[in-house]
Amino acid sequence: MLLSLGLLFAALSLGRCIPLQQAPNRSKLLLVSFDGFRWNYDQDVDTPNLDAMAADGVKAKYMTPAFVTLTSPCHFTLLTGRYLENHGVIHNMWFDTKTGVRLPYYTTQGISSWWDNGSLPIWITAQRQASEFMECLHSQGLKTGSIHFPGTKAKYQGEQVYKKVVEPALFNYSNETNWRQSIDTVMEWFTVENLDFITLYFGEPDSSGHKFGPESTQRKNMIKQVDRTVGYLRQRIQEKGLESSLNLIITSDHGMETVIKTNEIHIRKVTNFTFQDLDFQLLDYGPSGLLVPKEGKLEHVYSVLKNAHPKLHVYKKEEFPKRFHYANHSRITPLLLYSDPGYVIHGRYKVQFNKGEHGFDNEAMNMKTIFRAVGPAFKKGLVVEPFESVNVYALLCELLGITPEPHDGSLEVTKPMLRSGAPLHPAGKMPLMLGLALVLGCWGGLF
């Protein structure tokens, strides 16, 4: 009885699905990330275009990234609103503790099972968002695109970003001509292809910060290049007539710290420690380490490393500080290491030569990053208090008019940035109301 009623209802509502009216064009959204843009990088360089954007929109004093402060994990937090222990992308490198295989950043981009670990990035949610009601109204979901953004290459539950550009394995992340081409592609996707939401990633100023250090002239020059690029982007938005219909967010994944080269942490040199006591190790990756001791060796390895160096912190998985929201995931190993700002962890051999590094405690000021926004949804000339990056996702969903997946942030945190009054996403809310009316109509007709 229930089943046949359901079938009848389905048939009836399909039958009544007539396009009532064309949904008005919703606002578009562009999320830009400049990797490794520390919160205060604009304070020792002239940045006229970033300043103009702040005057026209909203600027956070700074944003606190998730922990560990690494590229892929922190970008996935922006895309899902979840801490690392909840989205599962806990490192830039895919690894297998059984075989000891570790894959570098670029290769890991292509391992869907690494990314698709229970949290759906906003691209996929936006594409599928058509609820039963909206399907009834012939809504196809939103059209999304992504250029170079971490996570772009993967498939999620078999689905992927509609329009994507993935960088080749050997790619010059600093080429300004290339940056402008990416911006031109974004403009074309918005205007010709009518995409609703695009994510755009630049690998700088992270590369310059690593190579030359965060206080270097090279990093400062790169900030000038970033600023010119922001100017170019906003000029193109204006030329395309998108200024009143496009919301633009510029943010990043983490900051950058100068590496200290004295009194270094070198695990091989720790008294009574031997790599023979380990089944697996992921070391030599900035300030973090993941270890799997051999059976029966956990207490021993833990005790020899625990007080080995004043700047090194060693924890059993269950005892890792909860404030990091990092260790409660099946991919986290039984022992975890992290070091204080400036100190990287060397394993067997010293293979880390960067002058700048990240991955440190997200409470350290030099790990804080930027958040800027401008567009029809945002207030003008507003500076807001710092907030955590897990909250960005709920804002993106609100701007797109889609229902968020379960997440660790809150829209309340970013709501003060938004203009009150005007509905944010007429096209998002209206079909729901129309759908409700339709259903009521259907039921009214049935009974």
Of all helices (H) and strands (E), which one includes residue 383? strand 382-384
Burial string for 245-275 (b: 16+ CB within 10 Å, else e) reads ebbbbbbbbbbbbbbbeeebbebeebeebee
User: What's the full length of the chain, in residues?
Assistant: 447
DSSP 85: H
Closest CB to ligand NAG among 40 and 174?
A: 174
Q: Name the one range near ligand NAG by CB under 6 A: 35-43, 69-77, 176-184, 337-345.
A: 176-184
# of chain residues touching ligand NAG (CB under 6 A):
20
Q: Could you say whether residue 328 binds ligand NAG (CB under 6 A)?
A: yes
Q: In terms of CB distance, is 40 or 185 closer to ligand NAG?
A: 185
Which of 263, 330, 349, 412 lies at the binding interface for ligand NAG (CB under 6 A)? 330
| Contact flag: residue 172 with ligand NAG (CB under 6 A) | yes
Of the pair 175, 235, the CB lying nearest ligand NAG is at 175
Single residue of 20, 130, 260, 304 touching ligand NAG by CB under 6 A: 304
Catalytic member of 71, 108, 229, 369? 71
DSSP string, 338-359: EE-TT--EE-SS-----SEE--
Identify which of residues 177 and 262 has a Cβ nearer to ligand NAG in the complex.
177
Stretch that binds ligand NAG, among 137-145, 147-155, 325-333, 374-382 (CB under 6 A): 325-333
Interface pick for ligand NAG out of 97, 178, 185, 218 (rule CB under 6 A): 178
375 φ/ψ angles, rounded to the nearest 5 degrees: 145, 180
Is there a catalytic annotation at residue 152? no
DSSP state of 246: E
Residue 443 is inside which H or E element, if any?
helix 426-446
By beta-carbon proximity to ligand NAG, the closer residue of 275 and 443 is 275
Residue of minimal CB distance from ligand NAG?
Answer: 118
Q: In a 3-state reduction of DSSP, which class is residue 56?
A: helix
User: How far is residue 383's CA from residue 416's CA, in Å, rounded to a whole number?
Assistant: 10
Binding mask 63-92 for ligand NAG (x = CB under 6 A): -------------------------x----
> If binding is defined by CB under 6 A, does position 4 make contact with ligand NAG?
no
Q: Which is nearer to ligand NAG, 185 or 410 (CB)?
A: 185
Q: Residue 300, Cβ neighbours under 10 Å: how many?
A: 15
Determine if 188 is a binding residue for ligand NAG (CB under 6 A): no
Out of 48, 100, 118, 241, name the contact with ligand NAG by CB under 6 A: 118
User: In whole angstroms, how close is the CB of 167 to ligand NAG at the nearest point?
Assistant: 11
Indicate the Cα dihedral angle 51, 53, 58, 64, nearest 10°: -70
**Whose Cβ is closer to ligand NAG: residue 40's or residue 97's?**
97
Question: Quick one: which segment of 54-62, 209-217, 254-262, 327-335 binds ligand NAG (CB under 6 A)?
Answer: 327-335
> What value, to the nearest 5°, has the Cα angle with vertex 410 and ends 408 and 415?
160
Q: Where are the alpha helices (DSSP H) in 45-175?
A: 48-56, 71-80, 84-87, 105-108, 112-115, 122-128, 132-136
Q: State how far the Cα of 366 lies from the Cα of 357, in Å rounded to an integer.
A: 10
In the range 25-44, which residues lie near ligand NAG by CB under 6 A? 25
Contact stretch for ligand NAG (CB under 6 A) within 33-41, 323-331, 413-421, 436-444:
323-331
- Distance in Å, CB of 266 to ligand NAG, minimum: 15
191-196 contacts, C-beta under 8 A, 24 or more apart: 191/240, 191/242, 193/143, 193/145, 193/163, 194/143, 195/28, 195/143, 195/144, 195/145, 195/162, 195/163, 196/26, 196/28, 196/29, 196/126, 196/142, 196/143, 196/144, 196/400
d(CA 261, CA 143) in angstroms, rounded, equals 48
Q: Is 176 in the site for ligand NAG (CB under 6 A)?
A: yes
423 binds ligand NAG (CB under 6 A): no
Binding site for ligand NAG (CB under 6 A): 24-25, 88, 117-118, 172, 174-178, 181, 191, 194, 271-272, 304, 328, 330-331
Q: Which residues does the annotation mark as catalytic?
A: 71
